[in-house]
Amino acid sequence: MGGLIRIRSKDQLNTILERNRDKLVVIYFESKHVTFGSTMATRYWKLAHANPEVVCTIVEATEAPEVAQHYGIRKFPSVKFIKEGLLKDGKVPEIIGYNKPALSAGIARYK
C-alpha cells in the first residue's frame, strides 16, 4: 500500500481494519497541541513509505476524538499495532511517547 492514510472517523478506520485483517495496521495518534511529535511523525512517514506491505494510518486526535477515545489515547504521540492474532488480554501492542527506535522495531516485529 505505502504512504499514510489520514483517519477522520471511527467508521473509516473500521473499514480499513476489516479490509486488511491479514496485514499489520499501524495507527499513529498525534495532537496539534504537541509540537515535539512532529519529529516522530517524520520518522513514521519514512517508515510508512519504506514498508508498503504495512497499512500506516495517522489520527489527529482533535479531528477524530472518537478514535483516540476508543483506543484510550491520553498521551501524544502514541502508536497502536493492529493485526489478527496480536491481541493479548484484550490489549494491542502500543508505544506511548516519543520513541523512534520502538516504532521501527514494532513495525519490523509485527509485519
pTM of the model: 0.85
**pLDDT on residue 35:** 66
Alpha helices in 4-99 (DSSP H): 10-19, 37-50, 65-70
pLDDT at 13: 96
**6-61, pLDDT tens digit by residue?**
999 999 999 999 999 889 999 999 998 876 556 777 888 888 889 999 999 999 99
Q: What domains can you pick out in the chain, each with its CATH number?
A: 4-110 (3.40.30.10)
Task: Say how far apart CA 100 and CA 28 lie, in whole Å.
Answer: 12
Cα–Cα nearest to 51, from 26, 28, 27: 26
Q: Is the Cβ–Cβ distance between 49 and 43 less than 8 Å?
A: no
pLDDT digits over 57-101, tens only? 999 999 999 999 999 999 888 999 988 877 666 567 888 877 778
Is the separation of the CB atoms in 95 and 106 below 8 Å?
yes
